Structure 1
Amino acid sequence: MTEEMQDIAVEGAAFAKKIFDDVREFSKDPVAGVSRQGYSAVENKVHEYVKEVGKTLGLEEWADAAGNLFLTLPGEHRDLPAFVTGSHGDSVPQGGNYDGLAGIVAGLTVLWWMRRTNYTPYRDMSVLVTRMEESSYFGKAYVGTLAMTGKLKPEDLKLRHRTKQQTLAEAIRESGFDPEACVSGKPLADLKKFGAFIELHIEQGPTLDSNKTKRVGVVTGIRGNLRHKVVRCIGETAHSGAVNREFRHDAVLATADFLMRMEKHWIHRLDREEDLVFTVGVLKTGDSAAIAKVPGLVTFCIDMRSLSMGTLERFHEVLLSCADKVAKERGVKFEFDQMLRTDPAKLNSGLVARIATTAAENGIPYIAMPSGAGHDSAVLTNAGIPSAMIFVANQNGSHNPREEMKLEDFMQGVKLLWKVAEGFDTERE
């Protein structure tokens, strides 16, 4: 192969694009975007499609009892822990084509490149295609990797589909897999066979896409969260024309006051360079609200995320204190449901450093950044598997039909993934 042909970022583009185009075509939603429900006929088709790609590359295939698929290029020393990469094949309803799929295509492109350049790995090189990472349909995220690591719970199988009469257990069984094995409490794969897991993923936010030169991210960790699904601000419903301001207990203005104070506290912590995001994704008045009423009830949710659980816990204390102050000043009451907690996932520091060093050595500009969204990597790193992530820029956000990703940005991420895999493979210890 000539020197001009020695760049995976150039030569692998057509191979990657075909997979993206093919999967988009057969998983199109009739309304918009793509819909690839976990444990559905469409997700099964994704797995069957990538199996066929694997056959063209001469890869070994194996699926665990939960349906997580491994496609492996055998190495010279098969007793060594493997280098594994990949992501999930499902999507949210009417989502984008690249969330999850990008990590699968990146891994397949690296193995394609190894075949094309006659590269024989020292250890096994595998692409992992996980099941049901998204929580949109059954309310449970990371079902495939939780099952694989022995962490899926029996009660999870009773979760019901968002729009039809189907349990998660029924969906798993109808897809050809064993729901009881998924909740046995035992890993479905030999976790000691993972030498490293690197997940390439679109960023799902604007940071990389807003940077003209640094289009790749080296992920430093995955943010944990503290959440309240339902917060109620209880005031007093009144006639909008008959009650003057000093006599009102307006739940809307109290909620607005509370949230603006919280934003100021958030900005203060950002100024102190703490990692923190604060979101109210749902906010609504009571069912009987009307234009001629002073609103007596507002319900909303709260999602706080950070790489530091200490930061979250301290901010939660501020949240409760602030709510108490607003309640006393405005004559309302705030009620919080039970707090939900997800600890941050600490990615393997050695792998994170390796990715950053490899990017610098290969002239790939990057940004070191946290992941605000959850990923399968969080489950695997918490199970003791050395894990890290690579982000690539995407446009128009994610979890929506307008999601985009420039192929040249993706291929820079693929090049970095290949160089990390090559460097890991050449180390003999």
Structure 2
Amino acid sequence: MTGAEDHGESAAKDGTGTEADDWRPDTGRISAMLEAIAATGRDPRGGVSRLAYSAEERKAHDLVGGWLRELGLSCRQDAVGNTIAERAGENPRAPGIGTGSHLDSVPRGGRFDGVAGVVAAVEVMRILNEHGLRTHHPLRVVAFAAEEGARFGEPCIGSKAVAGLLEAADCVRARDLDGVTIAEAMRGTGLDPERLAEARWNAEDWAAFVELHVEQANVLETEDLALGLVDLVSGSTRMLLTARGQAQHSGSTPMALRADALTTAAAIVLLAEAVATDPRHRGTRATVGRLEVEPNSITTIPGTVRFTVDVRDVDSDRQRRTAAELVERGRQISARRGVELDVEVMADSSPAVLPMWLRQLNSEVCQRLGVPYRVMSSGASHDAQMVNRVAPAAMLFVPSKGGLSHVPEEWTSAADIAEGAHVLLHALLRIDGFLADLPLPGVDPEGSLGR
């Protein structure tokens, strides 16, 4: 395939070329970048707290943007706070091939979630520069803003905006625990939510996107594999449930006369577990991750309880059926206990089927480099899931120690990230060469390579 040979990939075709062997990511540089980004949000209680649209998140974006500018990439911040940098290709009119991930974290989260993909992307750009490698298409590094839904309940804000999936109304509806809306938080970091539409990408400007991410599970570690190629990304239905009973004295109110919001909420929490583990919902995950009790007094029956339910599945119909069943049966439980139940859908995202042709190309790269891998689905939501609506997207997973994520103990070694970055480098070159030879209309994004 002459296109690949023209754009620096020929030495890597059989995995034995000396040039390809030299194109190795530097684990020392990777570790240094990880540490520098972690320092922008280090939490004295442990872990990293770099929440969406916080000063800490902006510092991380400024840091990464500085590295990319030093490498000669043109760099900008878009209207929603994403950092986008471009390395020029030989054909300035060709659509770009992107890579990257996000920089925000959950409260007291880990150092690698999202960050590994951004660091890998920066390292790939360094290697391309060091070896004078040119591509036909422009290459773009994207550090997405506000991927985690922990602060506002709305996940993937930056990538939803580029895919045209975020409306101005979403930015004034969703609030954090302090009542701050997304729009207000954006303004607090110098962004203008009124310009949200400017962040949307044109499909004609993007040829493909590849996101490297930590697995956040232990399949790769258990099977002693270096890489996962993602075929499906789970959807998520996130709801805020409010149980409203009657706060009363805990000693003078008989058990039979209580409208206890907390015991009602507890019954619904256990219902969520029961429904998700029912064989009819095999593969569904349901989680209650936040619960607030009022008045939160030892001697007062809880009058109001607010709690979240996060339903995830790779099957869209099953995801929505599970959520609907939880709401219906939750209302029945509440009515029997004399408690009102209000339900608000905080966010709802469909599962994504990632294009087979990109996964096939990445599979070829793994085989040629001798990297052990498997095809797998993702239980977590990711930016690539949203980008896939506007540009063909692929995901590469690297191992997570013990499967831990969203906790301070989250860990992926620099060596594992370097191995993933090595595959990412060759994947970008492979995609570049393939598409340089193949007009985009000849690619069936739902099928095979088409040649």
TM-score (norm 2): 0.77
- Per the alignment, residue 393 of structure 2 pairs with 387
- Per the alignment, residue 269 of structure 1 pairs with 279
Rounded Cα–Cα distance in structure 1 between residues aligned with 2:54 and 2:344: 32
- Per the alignment, residue 5 of structure 2 pairs with none
Gaps of 5+ in 2: 1-10, 439-451
Aligned to 2:101, what secondary structure does the other structure show? Answer: strand
Query: Which moves more between the two structures, 196-205 or 156-165?
Result: 156-165
Q: Aligned runs of 1:48-87 on 2, under 5 Å?
A: 48-87=62-101
Gaps of 5+ in 1: none
Please report how far the alpha carbon of residue 125 of structure 1 lies from its aligned counterpart in structure 2 after TM superposition. Answer: 1.2
- Per the alignment, residue 241 of structure 2 pairs with 230
Partner residue of 1:131 out of 140, 145, 161: 145
1:9–1:408 CA contact under 8 A, matched in 2: no
Aligned CA distance change for structure 1 residues 10 and 187 (closer, same or farther; 3 Å): closer
- Per the alignment, residue 355 of structure 1 pairs with 362
Q: Which amino acid aligns with 1:312?
A: Q
Aligned CA distance change for structure 1 residues 233 and 354 (closer, same or farther; 3 Å): farther
Rounded Cα–Cα distance in structure 2 between residues aligned with 1:136 and 1:123: 36
1:37–1:91 CA contact under 8 A, matched in 2: yes
1:157–1:168 CA contact under 8 A, matched in 2: yes
- Per the alignment, residue 219 of structure 1 pairs with 230
Partner residue of 2:204 out of 192, 195, 198: 192
Rounded Cα–Cα distance in structure 2 between residues aligned with 1:174 and 1:251: 36
Partner residue of 1:278 out of 286, 291, 297: 286
Q: Aligned runs of 1:237-276 on 2, under 5 Å?
A: 263=273, 266-269=276-279, 274-276=282-284
Aligned to 2:112, what secondary structure does the other structure show? Answer: coil
Please report how far the alpha carbon of residue 18 of structure 1 lies from its aligned counterpart in structure 2 after TM superposition. Answer: 1.9
Aligned to 2:421, what secondary structure does the other structure show? Answer: helix
Aligned CA distance change for structure 1 residues 130 and 256 (closer, same or farther; 3 Å): closer
Aligned CA distance change for structure 1 residues 338 and 142 (closer, same or farther; 3 Å): closer
Rounded Cα–Cα distance in structure 2 between residues aligned with 1:426 and 1:228: 44
Q: Percent identity?
A: 28
1:191–1:385 CA contact under 8 A, matched in 2: yes
Rounded Cα–Cα distance in structure 1 between residues aligned with 2:173 and 2:72: 38
1:9–1:412 CA contact under 8 A, matched in 2: no
- Per the alignment, residue 153 of structure 1 pairs with 167
Rounded Cα–Cα distance in structure 2 between residues aligned with 1:312 and 1:4: 48
Please report how far the alpha carbon of residue 243 of structure 1 lies from its aligned counterpart in structure 2 after TM superposition. Answer: 8.3
Rounded Cα–Cα distance in structure 1 between residues aligned with 2:230 and 2:383: 14
- Per the alignment, residue 409 of structure 1 pairs with 416
TM-score (norm 1): 0.80
Rounded Cα–Cα distance in structure 1 between residues aligned with 2:59 and 2:178: 21
Aligned CA distance change for structure 1 residues 304 and 51 (closer, same or farther; 3 Å): closer
Rounded Cα–Cα distance in structure 1 between residues aligned with 2:262 and 2:178: 35
Matched, 1:307 2:278: no
Aligned to 1:337, what secondary structure does the other structure show? Answer: strand
Please report how far the alpha carbon of residue 298 of structure 1 lies from its aligned counterpart in structure 2 after TM superposition. Answer: 7.2
Please report how far the alpha carbon of residue 74 of structure 1 lies from its aligned counterpart in structure 2 after TM superposition. Answer: 1.3
Aligned length: 420
Rounded Cα–Cα distance in structure 2 between residues aligned with 1:292 and 1:188: 50
Please report how far the alpha carbon of residue 224 of structure 1 lies from its aligned counterpart in structure 2 after TM superposition. Answer: 1.4
Please report how far the alpha carbon of residue 233 of structure 1 lies from its aligned counterpart in structure 2 after TM superposition. Answer: 9.4
Rounded Cα–Cα distance in structure 2 between residues aligned with 1:167 and 1:232: 23
Q: Deviations over 1:70-93 (max 9, x none)?
A: 222211112111110011222233
1:262–1:322 CA contact under 8 A, matched in 2: no
Q: Deviations over 1:267-302 (max 9, x none)?
A: 4438x9x43212233467774786998x99876543
Please report how far the alpha carbon of residue 147 of structure 1 lies from its aligned counterpart in structure 2 after TM superposition. Answer: 3.3
Aligned CA distance change for structure 1 residues 181 and 422 (closer, same or farther; 3 Å): same
- Per the alignment, residue 113 of structure 1 pairs with 127
Matched, 1:208 2:220: yes
Q: Deviations over 1:85-105 (max 9, x none)?
A: 011222233322212211111
Matched, 1:372 2:392: no
1:87–1:128 CA contact under 8 A, matched in 2: yes
Q: Deviations over 1:166-197 (max 9, x none)?
A: 65445434534433211xx4554444211001
Rounded Cα–Cα distance in structure 2 between residues aligned with 1:290 and 1:299: 18
Partner residue of 1:23 out of 15, 37, 45: 37
Rounded Cα–Cα distance in structure 2 between residues aligned with 1:152 and 1:299: 25
CA root-mean-square deviation:
3.9
Aligned to 1:109, what secondary structure does the other structure show? Answer: helix
